[in-house]
Chain A
Amino acid sequence: MLELRNVRKSFRGIVAVENVSFLARAGEVTGYLGPNGSGKSTTMKMITGLIEMTSGTILFEGEPIHRDLIAYKQRMGYVPEEPHLYAHLSGLEYLVMVGQLRNLPSTPTAERIDGLLRLLSLHGDRHVPISAYSKGMRQKVLLIAALLHNPELILLDEPFSGLDVSSALVLRSLIQELAARGKVVLFSSHELETVERVCSRIVILHHGRVVADDSIERLRTLMKLPTLEKIFSQLAVEQDTAMISREIADLIQA
Chain B
Amino acid sequence: MTRLQFRVLYQQFLFRTVDLELLSASAQGDSVKLLGQLAALLAFLSLMIAMVGIAVGGGKLPTAQRLAMSWGMEHFLLSTTMLVVGLFAVLSWESMFPDRRDVLVLAPLPIHAATLFLAKVAAVATTLSLTVAAFHGFAGLIWPLVLHPPDSGWLGVIRSFAGYWITMLSAGTFVLCCLLCVQGLAALLPRQQFLRASSMLQLAAFCLLLGVYFLQPSMLTPEALTAPQNQWQLAWLPSYWFLGLFQILNGSPHSALNPLAWRAIVGLAIAVFGAGVAFVLSYLRTLRKIIEQPDITPGARGGPWLPRFGNSPITALVQFNIRTLVRSRQHRLILSFFWGLAFTVVILYIKTPLVQKTLLNAASTNPWRQVNAPLLVCSIVMMWFAVIGTRVVFAMPTELRANWIFRVTNLNSLSDYLKSVRRSLFSLAVVPVWMIWATVLLWLWPWQQAARHLIVLGLLGTILVEFCLHGFHKLPFTCSYLPGKANVYYLFFGYVTLAVPLLNRAAVLERDSLLSSYLYTLVLFALSIGAIGARWRTMTLAQSEGTELRFEELEAPAILQLGLYRD
Is B57 in contact with chain A by the CB < 8 A criterion? no
For B329, the closest partner residue in chain A by CB is: A88
Is B494 in contact with chain A by the CB < 8 A criterion? no
- In the bound assembly, the distance between CA atoms of A128 and B297 in angstroms comes to 8
Q: How far is the CB of B107 from chain A (nearest CB, A)?
A: 20
Q: Is the CB of A132 within 8 A of B296?
A: yes
Given contacts A12-B560, A98-B409, contact A125 B298 (CB under 8 A): yes
- In the bound assembly, the distance between CA atoms of A73 and B410 in angstroms comes to 8
Within 8 A of A (CB), among B311-328: 311-313, 315-317, 319-320, 323-324, 327-328
Given contacts A48-B408, A73-B410, contact A100 B560 (CB under 8 A): no
- Which residues of chain A have C-beta atoms less than 8 A from B407's C-beta? 49-50
Contact indicator per residue, chain B 298-342, by CB within 8 Å of chain A (1) or not (0): 111111000000011101110110011001100000000000000
The dominant DSSP class at the A interface is mixed
Given contacts A88-B398, A100-B316, contact A132 B294 (CB under 8 A): yes
Q: Is the CB of A104 within 8 A of B312?
A: yes
Q: How far is the CB of B37 from chain A (nearest CB, A)?
A: 27
- Which residues of chain A have C-beta atoms less than 8 A from B404's C-beta? 50, 80, 84
Partner of A103, one of B294, B312, B399: B312
Is A121 in contact with chain B by the CB < 8 A criterion? no
Contact indicator per residue, chain A 169-197, by CB within 8 Å of chain B (1) or not (0): 00000000000000000000000000000
For B477, the closest partner residue in chain A by CB is: A86
- In the bound assembly, the distance between CA atoms of A104 and B408 in angstroms comes to 15
Q: Is the CB of B298 within 8 A of A74?
A: no
Is B405 in contact with chain A by the CB < 8 A criterion? yes
The dominant DSSP class at the B interface is loop
Is B402 in contact with chain A by the CB < 8 A criterion? yes
For B192, the closest partner residue in chain A by CB is: A132
For B399, the closest partner residue in chain A by CB is: A86
Q: Is the CB of B411 within 8 A of A103?
A: yes
Is B401 in contact with chain A by the CB < 8 A criterion? yes
Q: Is the CB of A92 within 8 A of B408?
A: no
- Which residues of chain A have C-beta atoms less than 8 A from B294's C-beta? 132
Given contacts A70-B411, A88-B323, contact A100 B315 (CB under 8 A): yes
- In the bound assembly, the distance between CA atoms of A80 and B401 in angstroms comes to 11
Is A1 in contact with chain B by the CB < 8 A criterion? no
Q: Is the CB of A93 within 8 A of B409?
A: no
Is B562 in contact with chain A by the CB < 8 A criterion? yes
Is B102 in contact with chain A by the CB < 8 A criterion? no
Given contacts A84-B401, A98-B409, A101-B411, contact A90 B312 (CB under 8 A): no
- Which residues of chain A have C-beta atoms less than 8 A from B412's C-beta? 103
Is B406 in contact with chain A by the CB < 8 A criterion? yes
Is A127 in contact with chain B by the CB < 8 A criterion? yes
- In the bound assembly, the distance between CA atoms of A88 and B295 in angstroms comes to 12
- Which residues of chain B have C-beta atoms less than 8 A from A97's C-beta? 316, 319-320
Given contacts A50-B404, A101-B411, A127-B303, contact A93 B323 (CB under 8 A): yes
Partner of B401, one of A82, A90, A132: A82
- In the bound assembly, the distance between CA atoms of A49 and B406 in angstroms comes to 12
Q: Is the CB of B409 within 8 A of A101?
A: yes
Contact indicator per residue, chain B 484-512, by CB within 8 Å of chain A (1) or not (0): 00000000000000000000000000000
For A87, the closest partner residue in chain B by CB is: B399
Given contacts A84-B402, A87-B399, A88-B323, contact A13 B295 (CB under 8 A): no
Q: How far is the CB of B401 from chain A (nearest CB, A)?
A: 4
Number of A-B contacts (CB under 8 A): 99
Partner of B295, one of A48, A92, A131: A131
- In the bound assembly, the distance between CA atoms of A132 and B319 in angstroms comes to 21
Q: Is the CB of B398 within 8 A of A74?
A: no
Q: Is the CB of A127 within 8 A of B323?
A: no
- In the bound assembly, the distance between CA atoms of A100 and B409 in angstroms comes to 10
For B328, the closest partner residue in chain A by CB is: A88
For A51, the closest partner residue in chain B by CB is: B407
Q: Is the CB of A101 within 8 A of B302?
A: no
Q: Is the CB of A128 within 8 A of B298?
A: yes
Q: How far is the CB of B555 from chain A (nearest CB, A)?
A: 13
Q: Is the CB of B299 within 8 A of A90?
A: yes
- In the bound assembly, the distance between CA atoms of A73 and B302 in angstroms comes to 30
Given contacts A13-B562, A97-B319, A103-B411, contact A86 B299 (CB under 8 A): no
Contact indicator per residue, chain A 75-106, by CB within 8 Å of chain B (1) or not (0): 01010101011111110110011111111101
- In the bound assembly, the distance between CA atoms of A202 and B412 in angstroms comes to 35
Partner of B405, one of A70, A87, A98, A127: A98
- Which residues of chain B have C-beta atoms less than 8 A from A125's C-beta? 298
Q: Is the CB of A129 within 8 A of B299?
A: yes
Q: Is the CB of B405 within 8 A of A101?
A: yes
- In the bound assembly, the distance between CA atoms of A137 and B247 in angstroms comes to 62
- Which residues of chain B have C-beta atoms less than 8 A from A74's C-beta? 411
Q: Is the CB of B313 within 8 A of A103?
A: yes
Partner of A145, one of B319, B401, B405: B405
Q: Is the CB of B301 within 8 A of A127?
A: yes
- In the bound assembly, the distance between CA atoms of A209 and B43 in angstroms comes to 54
- Which residues of chain B have C-beta atoms less than 8 A from A88's C-beta? 323-324, 327-328, 398-399
Given contacts A129-B299, A132-B298, contact A50 B408 (CB under 8 A): yes
Given contacts A13-B560, A73-B410, A93-B323, contact A85 B399 (CB under 8 A): yes
- Which residues of chain B have C-beta atoms less than 8 A from A49's C-beta? 407-408
For B411, the closest partner residue in chain A by CB is: A70
- In the bound assembly, the distance between CA atoms of A70 and B399 in angstroms comes to 24
For A103, the closest partner residue in chain B by CB is: B312
For A13, the closest partner residue in chain B by CB is: B562
- Which residues of chain B have C-beta atoms less than 8 A from A128's C-beta? 296, 298-299
Q: How far is the CB of B426 from chain A (nearest CB, A)?
A: 19
- Which residues of chain B have C-beta atoms less than 8 A from A99's C-beta? 312, 316
Contact indicator per residue, chain B 219-236, by CB within 8 Å of chain A (1) or not (0): 000000000000000000
- Which residues of chain B have C-beta atoms less than 8 A from A50's C-beta? 404, 407-408
Q: Is the CB of B402 within 8 A of A85?
A: yes
Within 8 A of B (CB), among A2-46: 12-13
Given contacts A90-B299, A127-B300, A127-B302, contact A100 B312 (CB under 8 A): yes
Contacts A70-B410, A85-B405 supplied; 14 other A-B pairs, CB < 8 Å:
A50-B407, A78-B408, A84-B402, A86-B320, A86-B402, A87-B402, A88-B324, A88-B399, A97-B319, A101-B312, A102-B409, A103-B411, A128-B298, A128-B299
| 27 A–B pairs (Cβ distance < 8 Å), ordered by A | A13-B562, A50-B404, A50-B407, A70-B411, A73-B411, A74-B411, A85-B402, A85-B405, A86-B324, A86-B399, A90-B299, A93-B303, A93-B319, A97-B316, A99-B316, A100-B316, A101-B317, A103-B312, A103-B411, A103-B412, A127-B299, A127-B300, A127-B301, A128-B296, A128-B299, A131-B296, A132-B297
| Closest CB pairs A-B (n = 8) | A100-B316, A101-B409, A100-B312, A84-B401, A88-B327, A84-B402, A97-B316, A132-B296
